């Protein structure tokens, strides 16, 4: 069948079962938009800024296990998309971004809206392609989806020049892909898995540290089984929340810079550490030398060999799909006669209990001013822990991670790696479209929300009843906190002056806005908002401008060198 | 430590910039990089000379392996290998220096490949260190121009990098 390049591209999306494409039109993608217009299977969501298109595709992907798809035009369309692509790249989110390019004959001539999309995106994609002939579109898109989803997932960009999208070619969608240089390992090495099992049953102070890889690999179930079988404490990274149920008694909370005291202390003091789909990054283990100053055996399971022994040397490296390896590890443990050492575990849990009793997430409730932690606690209660919660970046993000107890994976959606302000609202759009009936809350700050506030318009057009929980402290709070702690209280440019009236703003976009100024009104406002099932409600909580996030392991410090609220 | 990393990659536009970009983005050092197609025209062979601790070299290999277009990576310095580099040197060759330069070229098993009444152009092949020694052995003031290809490497005997 002869089709145009644009028609082929859309056929490929249909073939891949793509439900939504998030995008924004422009000259270089006009043929592709034309092809979209002529069909109904793939629905297009018109955002108000290309960054939001990519974040929405990202949120869609994080909350499902599907590949997110975005479509942007050449030049400024692509450059606007880059922040979104880099965000997805840092968190290993499977995504395909199709960008228009100027016509082949104009490439390299500084044509109108020309930018080297492949060049500019290269450091923040898993792979990218420039398609030079319409006959290559189908095989390239097939590869793009395969690469995005397999191995360590990530965004793949496919750049299609305008003339190629209008060129005719024979269409057939390839049934299989073969890339001779790309063979991600699925199964871990059996000998290493046996060594790991041995170390784990013999451990006196075992600890399980699970990251975003568990969520991405849909490995929450085998992880939970393993933690229960071993009787060990489990912590999740910011990216891994929900990978192990937060209400389980073996959960010691999130670890890292704003992790709980018990999680960080257990991480520092364990004798056998099992790292699963996590990468020992600087926000998680703080100072590498300090972390390495205590002897412990480390087992590391990851799909990406380059993540293993990158920052911390590992004793038992296991490269493979986290779900497969955990399954195999469980099988080995089940068939082994040796059981975990109950006496040692008891002593270990006693020690953890002492750390826990420091109650490091305790904060002072106030009758006068709304504490941000309180809002999140109430949000958790009122949504019964079942909401999809997206977040922006800052203090509100940390409060959400600390106080909303995620029992399921893919419910907590945040930009952990890149830390992109402006992620929350567009990501929530993707989540809501993927889960039409579900409760979706976007926790944000008055700084972050203004980075993609224009998406309130998209929410109106597509009737997305997201609940925006703005913790409005009138400051770029996380910046203010660092200035208070490390820059002698010099609050350089962190006060958010001239804020808009968010209630009126929400109304101007056709939504509902509520301002909440007293602690006693928090619960009522949340209840009212969630009762409005079909409406987007913007909740403008005026929170304590001076509140800080505790515990805090300052940058460059070790995990046990933590500042607790009680120290201040 | 100095390492020579050899790789086979798809002979496609853009593959080279992925490798070069990886080194600059991650702050790895490149002493030299050479690349050309192989007898199988779908593949290019690249030789990268770099320096780093064992941990850094391990990361470099893993990161290179992650590039989709990279088909195979080896660290030649892990075993017996040969290393050759080509250098062309243009020198001022007048008066008694003319004879001296000819002598040095012979000692280093080089060849004079172009002659003018004022200059010689000398071709020299060998390990990088041999080329360095040659430059040190002749009078610095006579050197007008040098051009080096960077090292190419290959394993000895049965060590073969092939698909
Ligand atoms: C795009 C972008 N620019 C700058 C930053 C640096 N930054 C990190 S947190 C933060 C403050 C965020 O303020 P707000 O959204 O009001 O949240 P709060 O910390 O007050 O909860 C800033 C500016 C960032 N993460 N992202």
Give a yes or no: residue B159 inside a domain. no
What is the reported pLDDT for B139?
Answer: 95
In testing the pocket of ligand 1, which one of A91, A390, A394, A500 has its CB within 8 Å of the most ligand atoms? Answer: A394
This prediction has a pTM of 0.97
| Whether residue B72 sits in one domain with residue B23 | yes
| Whether residue B120 sits in one domain with residue B67 | no
Beta bridge partners of A23: A46, A71
In the reported structure, the alpha carbon of residue A493 is separated from the centroid of ligand 1 by a whole-number distance in angstroms of 12
pLDDT tens digits for A504-515?
999 999 999 999
pLDDT at A1 exceeding the cut of 90? no
Average pLDDT over residues A134-139: 98
Q: CB of A84 closer than 6 A to ligand 1?
A: no
Give a yes or no: residue B127 inside a domain. yes
Predicted complex ipTM: 0.94
Q: CB of A211 closer than 6 A to ligand 1?
A: no
Locus of tokens 């001239």: A498
**Continuous segment of H or E residues that includes residue A2:** strand A2-4
CA–CA distance, A415 with A401 (Å, rounded to integer): 12
Give a yes or no: residue B160 inside a domain. no
- State how far the alpha carbon of A549 is from the alpha carbons of A5, A44, A375, A404, A453, in Å: 52, 39, 14, 14, 25
CA–CA distance, B151 with B49 (Å, rounded to integer): 7
Q: CB of A419 closer than 6 A to ligand 1?
A: yes
pLDDT at B151 exceeding the cut of 90? yes
Q: Where are the alpha helices (DSSP H) in B26-155?
A: 54-66, 96-107, 128-137
| Whether residue B70 sits in one domain with residue B130 | no
Angle at A288 between CA A287 and CA A290, to 5 degrees: 70
User: Which residue's CA is the closest to the ligand 1 atom numbered 1?
Assistant: A421
Determine, for residues A122 and B63 on separate chains, whether the beta-carbon distance falls below 8 Å. Answer: no
> A residues 302-361 near B, CB within 8 Å?
304-306, 309-310, 313
| Whether residue B72 sits in one domain with residue B6 | yes
pLDDT tens digits for B84-120?
999 999 999 999 999 999 999 999 999 999 999 999 9
pLDDT at A567 exceeding the cut of 90? no
Average pLDDT over residues B73-80: 96
Beta bridge partners of A391: A443
What is the reported pLDDT for B163?
Answer: 85
pLDDT tens digits for A361-396?
999 999 999 999 999 999 999 999 999 999 999 999
What is the reported pLDDT for A254?
Answer: 98
How sure is the predictor about B30, in pLDDT bands with cuts at 50, 70 and 90?
A: very high
Mean pLDDT, chain A, whole residue set? 97
pLDDT tens digits for A177-216?
999 999 998 999 999 999 999 999 999 999 999 999 999 9
pLDDT at A491 exceeding the cut of 90? yes
Full domain range(s) for residue B120: 82-152
Q: What are phi and psi of B60, to 5 degrees?
A: -60, -45
- In A173-279, beta strands by DSSP E: 206-210, 234-236, 251-254, 272-276
Chain A positions in Cβ-Cβ contact with residue B68 (cut-off 8 Å): 126-127, 147, 179, 181-182
CB A151 within 8 A of CB A92: no
| Whether residue B61 sits in one domain with residue B17 | yes
pLDDT at B147 exceeding the cut of 90? yes
Instruction: Label residue A568 exposed, middle or buried (CB < 10 Å: 0-12, 13-18, 19+).
Output: exposed
Domain boundary, last residue among B61, B79, B97 = B79
Classified by CATH at the fold level, domain A372-549 comes out as Rossmann fold (3.40.50)
Where are the domains positioned within chain A? 2-170, 190-356, 372-549
Domain boundary, last residue among B48, B64, B79 = B79
Phi-psi map region of A92: left, alpha, beta (phi>0 left; psi -120 to 50 alpha) = left
Q: CB of A93 closer than 6 A to ligand 1?
A: no
Average pLDDT over residues A231-244: 98
Domain count, chain B: 2
Q: Which of A126, A181, A305 sits opposite B69 (nearest CB)?
A: A181
Catalytic annotation, residues of A: 50, 112-113, 162, 478
Average pLDDT over residues A535-562: 97
What is the reported pLDDT for A255?
Answer: 98
Superfamily covering domain A2-170: Thiamin diphosphate (ThDP)-binding fold, Pyr/PP domains (3.40.50.970)
Closest-CA residue of chain B to A314: B55
Q: CB of A421 closer than 6 A to ligand 1?
A: yes
Task: Looking at the complex, report in whole angstroms how far the Cα of residue B40 sits from the nearest Cα belonging to chain A.
Answer: 14
Closest-CA residue of chain B to A118: B14
Q: What is the CATH number of the domain that holds B69?
A: 3.30.70.260
Q: CB of A278 closer than 6 A to ligand 1?
A: no
A179 touches chain B (CB under 8 A): yes
Chain B positions in Cβ-Cβ contact with residue A126 (cut-off 8 Å): 68
pLDDT tens digits for A242-271?
999 999 999 999 999 999 999 999 999 999
Proportion of chain B in helix, strand, coil states, percent, rounded to 5 = 30, 40, 30
What is the reported pLDDT for A566?
Answer: 86
In the reported structure, the alpha carbon of residue A343 is separated from the centroid of ligand 1 by a whole-number distance in angstroms of 46
Write the CB contacts of A345 (distance below 8 Å, at least 6 apart in sequence).
A206, A231, A232
What does the H/E/C string look like for A50-100? HHHHHHHHHHHHHHCCCCEEEEECCCHHHHHHHHHHHHHHHCCCCEEEEEE
Mean pLDDT, chain B, whole residue set? 96
Chain B positions in Cβ-Cβ contact with residue A122 (cut-off 8 Å): 17-18, 21
Chain B positions in Cβ-Cβ contact with residue A310 (cut-off 8 Å): 59
| Whether residue B89 sits in one domain with residue B147 | yes
Determine, for residues B62 and A118 on separate chains, whether the beta-carbon distance falls below 8 Å. Answer: no
Closest-CA residue of chain B to A306: B62
Determine, for residues B68 and A126 on separate chains, whether the beta-carbon distance falls below 8 Å. Answer: yes
Q: CB of A502 closer than 6 A to ligand 1?
A: no
- Other C-beta atoms lying within 10 Å of the C-beta of residue A302: 27
pLDDT at A568 exceeding the cut of 90? no
Q: Which of A123, A127, A309 sits opposite B25 (nearest CB)?
A: A123
| Whether residue B69 sits in one domain with residue B31 | yes
In the reported structure, the alpha carbon of residue A421 is separated from the centroid of ligand 1 by a whole-number distance in angstroms of 6
A123 touches chain B (CB under 8 A): yes
Q: Where are the alpha helices (DSSP H) in A466-565?
A: 477-486, 502-508, 522-531
Q: CB of A396 closer than 6 A to ligand 1?
A: yes
Q: What are phi and psi of A322, to 5 degrees?
A: -55, -40
Q: Does domain A190-356 have CATH number 3.40.50.1220?
A: yes
Mutate to test the interface with B, among A129, A130, A177, A306 (most CBs of B within 10 A): A306
Chain A positions in Cβ-Cβ contact with residue B63 (cut-off 8 Å): 306
Q: How many residues are there in chain A?
A: 568
pLDDT at A404 exceeding the cut of 90? yes
| Whether residue B70 sits in one domain with residue B104 | no
Q: In what order do the strands lie in the sheet with A412-413?
A: A412-413, A388-391, A440-445, A467-472, A537-542, A512-516
């Amino acid at each position: 069948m002869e089709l145009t390049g644009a028609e082929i591209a859309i056929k490929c999306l249909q073939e891949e079962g793509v439900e939504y494409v998030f995008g924004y039109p422009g000259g270089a993608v006009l043929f592709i938009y034309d092809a979209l217009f002529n069909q109904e299977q793939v629905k297009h969501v018109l955002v108000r800024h290309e960054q939001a298109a990519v974040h929405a595709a990202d949120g869609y992907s994080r909350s499902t296990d599907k590949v997110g798809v975005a479509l942007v035009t050449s030049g400024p369309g692509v450059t606007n998309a880059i922040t979104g692509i880099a965000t997805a790249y840092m968190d290993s989110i499977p995504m395909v971004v199709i960008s228009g390019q100027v016509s082949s004959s104009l490439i390299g001539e500084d044509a109108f809206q020309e930018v080297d999309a492949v060049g500019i995106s290269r450091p923040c994609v898993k792979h990218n392609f420039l398609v030079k002939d319409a006959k290559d579109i189908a095989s390239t898109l097939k590869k793009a989806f395969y690469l995005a989803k397999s191995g360590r997932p990530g965004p793949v960009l496919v750049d299609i020049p305008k003339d190629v999208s209008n060129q005719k070619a024979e269409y057939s969608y390839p049934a299989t892909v073969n890339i001779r240089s790309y063979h991600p390992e699925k199964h871990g090495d059996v000998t290493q898995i046996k060594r790991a099992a041995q170390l784990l049953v013999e451990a006196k102070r075992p600890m399980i540290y699970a990251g975003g890889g568990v969520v991405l690999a849909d490995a929450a179930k085998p992880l939970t089984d393993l933690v229960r079988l071993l009787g060990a404490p489990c912590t999740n990274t910011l990216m891994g929340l929900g990978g192990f149920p937060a209400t389980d008694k073996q959960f010691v909370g999130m670890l890292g810079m704003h992790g709980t005291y018990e999680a960080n202390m257990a991480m520092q003091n364990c004798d056998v550490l099992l790292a699963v789909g996590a990468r020992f990054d600087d926000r998680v283990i703080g100072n590498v030398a300090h972390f390495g100053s205590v002897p412990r055996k480390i087992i590391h399971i990851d799909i990406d060999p380059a993540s293993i022994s990158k920052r911390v040397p590992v004793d038992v490296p296991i490269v493979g799909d986290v779900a497969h390896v955990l399954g195999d590890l469980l099988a080995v443990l089940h068939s082994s006669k040796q059981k975990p050492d109950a006496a040692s575990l008891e002593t270990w849990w006693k020690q953890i209990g002492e750390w826990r009793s420091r109650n490091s997430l305790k904060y002072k409730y106030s009758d006068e001013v709304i504490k941000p932690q309180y809002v999140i606690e109430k949000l958790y209660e009122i949504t019964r822990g079942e909401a999809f919660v997206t977040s922006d970046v800052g203090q509100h993000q940390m409060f959400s991670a600390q106080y909303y107890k995620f029992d399921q994976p893919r419910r907590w959606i945040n930009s952990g790696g890149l830390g992109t302000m402006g992620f929350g609202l567009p990501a929530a759009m993707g989540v809501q479209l993927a889960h039409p009936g579900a409760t979706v809350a976007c926790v944000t700050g008055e700084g972050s929300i203004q980075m993609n506030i224009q998406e309130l318009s998209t929410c109106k057009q597509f009737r997305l009843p997201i609940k925006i929980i703005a913790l409005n402290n009138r400051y770029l709070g996380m910046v203010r906190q660092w200035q208070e702690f490390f820059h002698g209280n010099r609050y350089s440019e962190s006060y958010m002056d001239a804020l808009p009236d968010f209630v009126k703003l929400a109304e101007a976009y056709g939504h509902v806005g509520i301002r909440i100024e007293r602690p006693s009104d928090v619960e009522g406002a949340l209840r009212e908002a969630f009762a409005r099932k079909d409406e987007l409600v913007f909740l403008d909580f005026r929170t304590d401008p001076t509140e800080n996030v505790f515990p805090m392991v300052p940058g460059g410090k070790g995990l046990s060198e933590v500042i607790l609220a009680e120290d201040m | 430590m100095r390492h020579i990393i050899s790789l086979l990659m798809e002979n496609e536009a853009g593959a080279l910039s992925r490798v070069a970009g990886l080194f600059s983005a991650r702050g790895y050092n490149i002493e030299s990089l050479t690349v050309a197609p192989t007898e199988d025209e779908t593949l290019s062979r690249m030789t990268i000379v770099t320096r780093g601790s064992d941990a850094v070299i391990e990361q470099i290999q893993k990161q290179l392996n992650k590039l989709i277009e990279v088909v195979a990576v080896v660290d030649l310095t892990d075993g017996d290998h040969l290393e050759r580099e080509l250098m062309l040197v243009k020198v001022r060759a007048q008066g008694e220096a003319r004879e001296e330069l000819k002598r040095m070229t012979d000692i280093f098993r080089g060849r004079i490949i172009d002659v003018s009444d004022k200059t010689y152009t000398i071709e020299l092949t060998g390990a990088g260190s041999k080329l360095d020694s040659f430059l040190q052995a002749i009078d610095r003031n006579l050197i007008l121009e040098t051009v080096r290809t960077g090292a190419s490497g290959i394993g000895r005997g049965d060590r073969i990098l092939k698909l």
